[in-house]
Chains A and B, each alone.
Chain A
Amino acid sequence: EAGVTQFPSHSVIEKGQTVTLRCDPISGHDNLYWYRRVMGKEIKFLLHFVKESKQDESGMPNNRFLAERTGGTYSTLKVQPAELEDSGVYFCASSRDQGTNSPLHFGNGTRLTVT
């Protein structure tokens, strides 16, 4: 089966611009997660979709971040306007089961650099 795919792999934007990241989960995986890793720090949870519904968005840093999953398939994460501290690697992950005893399948991540 195809894995989790993310686009773009890299993005360099200026402060104040907008960037949209896309994630295509593994087919059939209802659970989709966004995580972020800032340089030198741990991978941190952003939010969790079950199908098209936001199950938990407690990790979203502020209202400059907007995630959507219309139709319950792929998801987008928009940052608008971007700030310097938004730089990092944004990972998407999916899992088949809702319980957190199922391993996450990660994409390769999008490396975002805000200058």
Chain B
Amino acid sequence: GQNIDQPTEMTATEGAIVQINCTYQTSGFNGLFWYQQHAGEAPTFLSYNVLDGLEEKGRFSSFLSRSKGYSYLLLKELQMKDSASYLCAVSDFNKFYFGSGTKLNVKP
């Protein structure tokens, strides 16, 4: 079956750096996505990795290791508005599989 694991909740301080990990086991792999979801709103696309390595996009970076079935999302210079749930999703050519999401609490 498909399995995607990420921590349920994390807390970090404004201005700090936080790393949200995601491990996955899927029958196929065609890319890994990270989404941000504020309460009551739609998940919004943050990043996409299909090859091993680091993808940087402003304050957000995402890393992928296909051999380890592992990814992380790195958020730098945390802001209060970064408080949200972060969803890891894996596509296997046919459909997307989502993790349960990591709720990030940013404190002053």
Contact = CB atoms under 8 A, between A and B. Distances in A.
Interface residues of A, number: 24
Contacts of B43: 43, 91, 104, 106
Interface in A1-42: 3-4, 33, 35, 40-42
A89 to B, nearest CB: 9
Contact of A103 (B4, B33, B92, B99): B33
B31 A56 contact: no
B31 A100 contact: yes
Contact of B100 (A41, A56, A99, A100): A41
B42 A3 contact: yes
B42 A103 contact: no
Contacts of B42: 3-4, 91, 106-109
Interface residues of B, number: 26
A45 interface: yes
B65 interface: no
Contacts of A40: 100
Given A3-B42, A91-B42, A109-B42, A100 B95 contact: yes
Interface in B52-105: 87, 89, 91-101
B91 A100 contact: yes
B87 to A, nearest CB: 7
28 contacts: A3-B42, A35-B98, A40-B100, A42-B4, A42-B100, A43-B43, A43-B87, A43-B89, A43-B98, A45-B96, A59-B95, A91-B43, A99-B93, A100-B91, A100-B92, A100-B94, A100-B95, A101-B48, A103-B33, A103-B45, A103-B48, A104-B43, A104-B45, A106-B43, A107-B42, A108-B40, A108-B41, A108-B42
Would you list the 9 A-B pairs with minimal beta carbon distance, nearest first?
A: A100-B91, A106-B42, A103-B45, A43-B98, A42-B100, A106-B43, A108-B42, A101-B31, A42-B98
Interface of A: 3-4, 33, 35, 40-45, 48, 56, 59, 91, 99-101, 103-109
Interface of B: 4, 30-31, 33, 35, 40-45, 48, 50, 87, 89, 91-101
